[in-house]
Amino acid sequence: MENWVLKNRKADFQMIMQQCGVSEVIARCLVNKGFEKPEEMERFLHPGLEQLREPLLMKDLQKACDILKDKLAKGRRIRIIGDYDVDGVVATYVLYRTFTELGARVDYEIPDRIKDGYGINMNMVEAAHEAGIDTIVTCDNGIAALEQVEKAKAYGMTVIVTDHHSLVQSEEGEALIPAADAVLNPQQPDCGYPFKGLCGAAVAYKLSQALLEDICPDKSQAFAGELLSYVAIATVCDVMELVDENRVIVRYGLELLKKTKNRGLLALMDVSSVDKEQLNVFHLGFVIGPCLNASGRLDTAKKGLELLLSDDEERAVRLADEVKSLNELRKSMTAENVEKAIAIIEGSDIKDHKVLVVHLPDCHESIAGIIAGRLRERYHKPAIVLTDAESGVKGSGRSIEAYNMYEELSKCRGLCLKMGGHPMAAGLSLIPENVDALRTALNQNTSLTEEMLVPKVTIDILLPLGYITEELVNELKLLEPFGKGNEKPLFAEKDLSIRSAFVIGKNGNGLRLRVKNRYGREMDAIYFGDVNEFFAYIGKIHGEEEARRMKTGRGTKATISVTYFPKINEYNGFKNLQLMIQNYR
């Protein structure tokens, strides 16, 4: 079941069309995105680097620059401590490239997902001390490392934290900040940086940008510009909202990535069959990102970092092959465990729970979050997947908009050994005996209602097929890049006659339909999803005979209402307009 809702925001569309030079469809999409003033719309339609905020607006950034300038001048040893996901790897890359460019004595360390867990830990602090490290700079982690920072300070080390995650809070609700020499995180309550939605790599980039401008202003612009392209990858892969600065970073970064000379990225695009000229957000989030992530999940994240740092073409190709193979293994492991999780849910009373908590003892802990995400998509419920680990039970959760997973897990902190995260995702560990207690507590205390668990499909415009032209499809590109916080506009057409239907795709997971509206306009429509479920729906609504006729490619009298996004399909020099169906009923 889905609840289809049509946005119906009012505005002076003629004025917007005139002042912004756009069609009524684009004007309505802009209003639906919440813009009210034409100047705001202009900034959105034409993002530029001048929209990036001044780095020194961030609390402690000037202090961090002063400290690092002093360390560089004195030749002190610096160690960057990153994290094992794409954001952490890219943040480490950005700082390492910057520090080496400035002549620093620098190395890096990235925790092992299984052995070390997330972020800086006591063993890493001890190792840094024993290695004679003077300064630790964290990236994409450290804001919750209160004890670890305290230990490093006790050893006499300088610590700079760069992070973007939520702050730890005391039982009284007070934000707890590590006692580092400088803490860069726009989430700090007293940080005046105007945009709070940066990823960890973007916070690291702000530090790099300020350092470069201060120490070598003559080449800072070109060097910082190149680094921005990598931050675009992290911004997309960490699922940050593509608004404000993030929109500029990704829009500008994609153009830079199309011209990249990074041997590792070029090799990865090559082995993944990515056309560099057609590079878009999808490739970052679903091809390049997962390959870099797979090295941190199933091997070591250092492999992904080495790929980005590789200057040798032969080595770059070998590393690209390795991370792609790891990602293929990750995909097969994920599919197998998603099936197991669904079997557990369907075979027990967990199916009736509003918060799904599934224990998969033998699942590789690195893919628990991916599986939780798949369960959330299937059931439209918050999902937590737990697996057995050396230190007990560990797990990851993925949530829906109506459920703040971090807050709800915080209420169960007494059942957890460790927990952290944000409203839409969280990680935790607990003793095996507390698994059932956690499941019970989350479900007994939830404020989720049945209505909240019905997926809401928000439609921008009821747009008949006759309005779809090549010009409109090209104009819609003004709204890109699409992603979280800047979703693709969703259009709808009611009561389309299905003239024909053919199963397509390597795995038979797609349909090519020929549809016709009440005004006689015909168009191709493509649907990717559960094809058997689609035919079952047709059989239920229009009868099994109509479903059989459709399956065998024969004409049918069935009709369907769809939500869609239009595209231009190009093949062998020919172009035709298509609907990409998102939902049907």
Using H for helix, E for strand and C for coil, what is the string for 161-178?
A: EECCCCCEECCCCCEECC
Residue 507 vs residues 275, 455, 528, 585: alpha-carbon distances, Å:
23, 27, 11, 24
Q: What is the pLDDT of residue 240?
A: 95
Q: What is the pLDDT of residue 29?
A: 98
Q: What is the pLDDT of residue 324?
A: 96
Q: What is the pLDDT of residue 552?
A: 84
Closest by CA position to 507, among listed 528, 526, 483, 493: 528
What is the distance between the terminal CA atoms of the chain, rounded to a whole angstrom?
A: 9
CB contact at 8 A, 88 and 139: yes
Residue 45 vs residues 8, 14, 126, 264: alpha-carbon distances, Å:
21, 17, 50, 32
Q: What is the pLDDT of residue 100?
A: 97
Report the amino acid identity of residue 551.
K
CB contact at 8 A, 65 and 87: no
CB contact at 8 A, 235 and 201: yes
The span from the CA of 522 to the CA of 499, in Å, is 9
The full set of domains in the chain, from first to last, is: 55-257 (3.90.1640.30), 348-453 (3.10.310.30), 456-584 (2.40.50.140)
Q: What is the pLDDT of residue 191?
A: 97
The span from the CA of 446 to the CA of 435, in Å, is 17
Q: What is the pLDDT of residue 507?
A: 83
Q: What is the pLDDT of residue 422?
A: 78
Residue 469 vs residues 357, 473, 523: alpha-carbon distances, Å:
46, 6, 11
Helix (H, G, I), strand (E, B) or coil at 446: coil
Please report, rounded to a whole number, the percentage of residues in the chain having pLDDT higher than 90.
88
Q: What is the pLDDT of residue 11?
A: 96
The span from the CA of 525 to the CA of 2, in Å, is 21
DSSP 486: B
CB contact at 8 A, 59 and 193: yes
Summary mean pLDDT of the chain? 95
Q: What is the pLDDT of residue 297?
A: 86
Q: What is the value of pTM for the model shown?
A: 0.92
Torsion of CA 28, 32, 37, 38, to 10 degrees: -40
Report the amino acid identity of residue 525.
A
- Name the stretches of the chain with pLDDT < 50: none
Helix (H, G, I), strand (E, B) or coil at 236: helix
